């Protein structure tokens, strides 16, 4: 009565009394509202046609959805399915499956849902309507450094986005050093690189970068963002032990599968085994399921904890079957007691733990989301079986999830964005490239540095951030490099390296770098202004990389920065006493901050600031101005 408005209803009129839907509900009520019809065939899958392809702008067509049942029967459910477009600015779809492309270009997917099952229709709407606008010769003349470029160029050609030109050597050396190590290259290294005429110098530079002292710590920070517990909850010593363990793993380039196995199958105590801090913080099977599936599989199962996932195929059964992997993890010793949480707690496998479905009270058997276990011995730790399932060649999540994270670190966004939200209704761009990179990663023994090398050696990574006429609107298909703000720790270390005056970081050695900080409570107004993550919130912590007014004001008005520039022990004092000419001094400044020589106009302005009665004040002003520029704060 409500949806037909025979009774007032805020939701408005949803059913006409003479419709087939209305009559279906009436008939069902008269039958006693049975949950299942006895002997009815079981729905096994749904199929959507057409399944996708290339679609011109402003084109209309009709989708058809077919249901398949276990008795091999089929049914047209086009009028019953629910439809959703992943990008309504590119592709619109009606309740009846009538689809219309709009006057924009890109990739879009139509999702059809019926009775908990999902099917997808994937479309590319190219920028151009004719290959004459972007000839194949333009793409054929593009160089390819490895398979990344082959896959990317093919996809970009379909979209009609011609990749930007290659970046300059100055841009490349600065970009790659910051992306791989979190450090600016030295002036000496920069001069050597810029003057080197060798055609393979970029590859040699990448090779040397990946053996840099700070690679391990820089990349360890990315995973501690995802896993680091709150020290007020898990304990200061526990979090410190965890942080040092992660750093050792990345300094030694531990294979990623071994790293994850060490966490998922942990046995030990929180003062000896680093990953124990995670179990100490995430104490229930449900909490561990949410964290580990999101971090290691890129799948957000949390919605399915209470109800069927609204945008995916996951239901409560999937969630609690996954949680059952952790039902046999037992602990003994001192538990958590915030805000101190001292003491030792040991975690170990003990057969017999149970996880029950909250609604049916059924004891759940361990099974991975969307998968199953084969020949699993009931006496062994089920977490080992889950790890084996993740490493199976047919697993669609594990390798792709980490490749997507690493790609995002270099390009500013992932193939799947957000990086931990793999689902049918959030499809990847360059899907074949993501799959190929994941396969290559597995083939190379889950070697993270080899993956980094593969990415950095590609022409795609070395593209300019400046758009051309064809890709000026591209912000997700990687036809150019996307500028990104430097992370808080990296920016602070860059300021320290330039001024040669370090900040005092509590609890760390005097010469410690910001990327070595292991606790958000280590005081730093600078890092707080630039959005370092606060692990008092539940991990995984999301880095905010957008610029803000607070950041601009902090850089412009920071007394700490001004004192570094004015320090008698700092870099500016060294420059003043170096005996260099004004021109050479300006070169040194630009090489140190931007890894390039100044233009003629820049040189003229900068040299004029050094003339007059107080060259030191002029040099301080010059460096201060350049530190506050977008060219310094952004990687480009």
Instruction: Give tens-digit pLDDT for 594-603.
Output: 999 999 999 9
- The b-or-e profile of 486-498 (16+ CB within 10 A means b, else e) is bbbbbbbbbbbbb
pLDDT, greater one: 338 or 209: 209
**pLDDT exceeds 80 at position 20:** yes
Lowest pLDDT segment from 8-17, 256-265, 332-341, 431-440: 332-341
**pLDDT exceeds 60 at position 148:** yes
Q: Output the pLDDT for position 309.
A: 64
End-to-end CA distance of the chain: 60
Q: Output the pLDDT for position 250.
A: 98
Average pLDDT score over residue span 165-184: 98
Helix (H) or strand (E) holding 118: strand 117-125
Percent pLDDT > 70 in the chain is: 97
**pLDDT tier at 426 (50, 70, 90 boundaries)?**
confident
Lowest pLDDT segment from 241-250, 274-283, 536-545: 536-545
In 144-212, which ranges are continuous DSSP H helix? 147-159, 169-181, 187-195, 201-209
Per DSSP, what are the bridge partners of residue 348?
330
**pLDDT tier at 134 (50, 70, 90 boundaries)?**
low
* Domain range annotation of the chain: 1-35, 43-125, 169-214+397-483, 231-390, 488-635
Q: Tens digit of pLDDT for each residue in 451-486?
A: 999 999 999 999 999 999 999 999 999 999 999 999
Omega prior to 109 cis, within 30 of 0: no
Q: Tens digit of pLDDT for each residue in 504-518?
A: 998 888 889 999 999
Q: Which of 67, 86, 477 is nearest to 312 (CA)?
A: 86
Instruction: Report whether 507 contacts 519 (CB < 8 A).
Output: yes
CB atoms within 10 A of CB 238: 28
Q: Tens digit of pLDDT for each residue in 517-560?
A: 998 889 999 999 998 888 777 667 777 778 889 899 999 999 99
pTM of this structure:
0.92
**pLDDT exceeds 90 at position 193:** yes
Q: Tens digit of pLDDT for each residue in 306-352?
A: 877 666 678 888 899 999 999 999 999 988 887 777 889 999 999 88
Q: What is the mean pLDDT of the chain?
A: 92
Please give the Cα distance from 160 to 150 (Å, whole number).
15
Q: Output the pLDDT for position 310.
A: 62
Q: Output the pLDDT for position 133.
A: 53
Please give the Cα distance from 139 to 191 (Å, whole number).
33
Q: Which of 606, 622, 613 is nearest to 565 (CA)?
A: 622
CB atoms within 10 A of CB 84: 16
Tokens encoding 618: 């002029």
Instruction: Report whether 241 contacts 277 (CB < 8 A).
Output: yes
- The b-or-e profile of 531-567 (16+ CB within 10 A means b, else e) is bbbebeeebbbeeeeeeeeebeebbeebeebeebbee
Residue recorded with tokens 């597995």 = 442
Q: Which of 218, 170, 169, 229 is nearest to 406 (CA)?
A: 218
Q: Output the pLDDT for position 39.
A: 86
**pLDDT exceeds 70 at position 129:** no
CATH code for the domain defined by 43-125: 2.60.40.1080
Instruction: Report whether 428 contacts 122 (CB < 8 A).
Output: no
Phi, psi of 122 (to 5 degrees): -105, 130
User: Rg (Cα) of the chain, in Å, rounded?
Assistant: 29
**pLDDT exceeds 80 at position 211:** yes
């Amino acid at each position: 009565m409500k949806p037909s408005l025979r009774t007032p209803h805020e939701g408005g009129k949803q059913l006409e009394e003479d419709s087939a839907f209305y009559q279906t509900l009436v008939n069902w009520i008269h039958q006693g509202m049975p949950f299942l019809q006895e002997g009815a065939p079981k729905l096994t899958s749904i199929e959507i046609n057409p399944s996708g392809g290339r679609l011109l702008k402003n084109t209309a067509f009709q989708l058809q959805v077919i249901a398949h049942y276990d008795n091999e029967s089929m049914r047209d459910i086009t009028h019953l399915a629910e439809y959703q477009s992943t990008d309504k600015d590119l592709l619109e779809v009606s309740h009846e499956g009538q689809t219309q492309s709009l006057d924009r270009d890109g990739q879009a997917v139509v999702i059809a849902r019926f009775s908990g099952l999902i099917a997808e229709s994937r479309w590319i709407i190219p920028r151009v309507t004719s290959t004459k606008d972007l000839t194949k010769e333009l793409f054929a003349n593009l160089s390819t450094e490895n398979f990344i470029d082959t896959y990317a160029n093919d996809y970009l050609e379909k979209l009609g986005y011609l990749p930007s030109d290659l970046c300059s050597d100055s841009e490349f050396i600065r970009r790659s050093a910051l992306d791989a190590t979190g450090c600016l290259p030295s002036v000496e290294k920069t001069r050597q690189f810029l003057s080197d005429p060798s055609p393979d110098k970029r590859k040699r530079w990448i090779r040397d970068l990946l053996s840099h002292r700070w690679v391990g710590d820089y990349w360890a920070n990315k995973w501690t963002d995802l896993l680091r517990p709150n020290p007020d909850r898990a304990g200061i010593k526990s979090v410190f032990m965890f942080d040092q363990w992660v750093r050792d793993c990345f300094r030694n380039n531990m294979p990623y599968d071994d790293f994850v196995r060490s966490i998922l199958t942990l046995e030990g105590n929180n003062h000896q085994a680093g990953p124990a801090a995670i179990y100490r913080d995430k104490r229930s099977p449900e909490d561990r399921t949410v964290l580990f599936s999101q971090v290691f599989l890129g799948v957000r199962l949390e919605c399915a904890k209470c109800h069927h996932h609204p945008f995916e195929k996951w239901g409560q059964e999937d969630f609690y079957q996954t949680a059952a992997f952790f039902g046999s993890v037992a602990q003994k010793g001192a538990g958590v007691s915030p805000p101190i949480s001292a003491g030792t707690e040991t975690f170990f496998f003990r057969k017999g733990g149970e996880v029950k479905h909250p609604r049916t009270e059924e004891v759940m058997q361990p099974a991975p989301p969307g998968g199953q276990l084969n020949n699993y011995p009931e006496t062994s730790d089920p977490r080992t079986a889950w790890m084996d399932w993740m490493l199976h060649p047919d697993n669609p999540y594990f390798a792709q999830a980490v490749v997507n994270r690493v790609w995002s670190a270099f390009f500013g966004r992932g193939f799947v964005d957000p990086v931990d939200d793999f689902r049918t209704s959030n499809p990847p761009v360059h899907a074949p490239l993501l799959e190929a990179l994941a396969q290559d990663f597995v083939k190379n023994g889950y070697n993270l540095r080899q993956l980094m090398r593969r990415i950095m050696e590609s022409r795609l990574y070395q593209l300019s951030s400046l758009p051309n006429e064809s890709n000026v609107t591209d912000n997700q298909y990687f036809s150019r490099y996307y500028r990104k703000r430097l992370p808080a720790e990296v920016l602070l270390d860059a300021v320290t390296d330039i001024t040669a005056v370090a900040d005092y970081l509590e609890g760390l050695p005097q010469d410690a770098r910001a990327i070595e900080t292991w606790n958000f409570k280590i005081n730093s107004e600078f890092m707080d202004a630039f959005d370092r993550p606060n692990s008092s919130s539940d991990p995984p912590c999301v880095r905010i990389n957008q610029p803000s007014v607070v950041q601009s004001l902090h850089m412009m008005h920071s007394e700490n920065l001004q004192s570094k520039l004015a320090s008698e022990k700092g870099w500016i004092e060294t420059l003043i006493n170096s005996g260099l000419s004004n021109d050479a001094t300006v070169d040194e400044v630009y090489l140190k901050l931007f890894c390039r020589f100044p233009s003629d106009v820049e040189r003229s302005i900068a040299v004029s600031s050094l003339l007059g009665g107080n060259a030191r004040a002029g040099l301080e002003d010059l460096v201060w101005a350049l530190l506050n520029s977008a060219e310094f704060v952004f990687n480009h």
